[in-house]
Every structure is written in C-alpha cells, then in structure tokens.
Copies of this chain bind each other. A is one copy, B any other.
Amino acid sequence: MKHFDSSNLESLPSRYRAHLINSCSGYKSANLIGTSSNEAVDNLAIFSSVMHVGSNPPLLSLLFRPLTVERHTYANIKETGVFTVNHVHEGLVEIAHQTSAKYDSETSEFEKVGLTPIRRADFEAPFVAESRLGVGCTYVNEYEIKENGCVLVIASIQHIFMEEKALLEDGWVDLESIETAAISGQDAYAVPKLIHRLSYAKPDEDVKPLQ
C-alpha cells in the first residue's frame, strides 16, 4: 500500500496535499448555497461541506474556510439570517462548479451561470429552480474551529421542497431518483447508484437488504 506519514504530508506541494487530503474523508455532499445580500444581489456557491447535524430539531451545518478573504455566502447569511441548500444533480454539475469562480459581490452567480433564482413559501433566500431538492435554512449559531480558522455554521431547517417521486413512504429520500451528485476531492463529481438500504442492525442478527 502507498503510505504517507505526517512528515511526508508536510513536505508535499500544497496543491498535491489539498487534492490528497480532500479525498481522504470519502465522498462529500454536492450542494448549491443560495443567499441574497442586503443590496438584493442573489448569490450562489457550490459547497461540499453541508453536513447533517440532527433531526430533532432539524439541523444542518455548513463549514466555511477561514474568513481571511471575502466570503459572500457567509456575509449574506450573517446579514439576512437565511440561506437555501439545493442538491446538484447530474445535469447541473458543470454550471454548479462554475459558481466557484471568483465573481465580485455585485454579480449574481445565478445570472452568470444560467440558473434561475426562485422564492418559495415567502422564504427570503433564493432557491435554485432547476434543483430537485431544496432546503430553506435559518442561521442559528457558529463555532470557530480554532485549529485552522474555519467556521462551522449551524442552521435550522425551515422548509424542504423536493420532487414528489423522491419521497418514500417512510420519509427516506431516494436521491438516485433525482440524480443527486456527490463530490470527491476538490474538483470531481460522481453520481451514486444505490446498492440497497439495510435493516436496523442488532447484535445477534445479520443485517438484511430492505425492500
């Protein structure tokens, strides 16, 4: 097996290390975060750091890199208190990735990449009309990760919209049916194919595929 130890890692060129370390945690979620500034400029940015935090109350998190440079998404969330999380599906991958270009704060990435901002249920932040699953969130709190200056934003889930076909009768969402993508490393997009759901694990019984 190929082996890197901490001194190998330290001596790697920074781009090489970034590719490597970004891949090691496994697949990541692929979401477009929709926000608006106080000047009503809609902003859209691809994130791989949306994470499930809890279902009661319904919470998710979003990890921001250090705020040493301008972060429009973070600034907008702090200004307005709201944002949307929109699943990237296979057909949106290129334009979703394009949102990571450094546009200025007067420019709406929606316009630049050709996606449609849509307001739903009087929620203030823009959803992506082309996305098949969107979550409306309100800012709750943040934690600075002192080890590297990242900021973990905790948010409360207020609205969920999804194509009807994706919702199963027990509440599980069939992400394959809406072609939700995943991210590996910094720049790769993949579309998962379901193997199966598995039964709740018990110590003296083997797990079984669910139908």
Contacts and interface: CB of A to CB of B under 8 A. Distances in A.
Which size class do A's interface residues fall under?
A: 35 or more
Interface string A136-179: 00001101011110101010111111111011101111011000
Copy number in the complex reads 2
Contacts of A31: 25-26
B172 A195 contact: no
Given A58-B17, A146-B141, A171-B12, A4 B188 contact: no
Interface in A37-94: 48-61, 63, 65, 85, 87, 90, 93-94
Contacts of A55: 14, 17-18, 20-22
Contacts of A52: 21-22, 24-25, 28, 48-49
Interface string A23-37: 111111111000000
Contact of A29 (B28, B94, B97, B200): B28
B171 A17 contact: yes
A54 B14 CA distance: 12
Contacts of A140: 147
Contacts of A185: 172-173, 197
Contacts of A26: 29-31, 50, 87, 175, 180, 182
A119 interface: no
Contact of A172 (B23, B29, B135, B171): B23
6 contacts: A5-B121, A21-B54, A94-B207, A143-B145, A172-B187, A191-B193
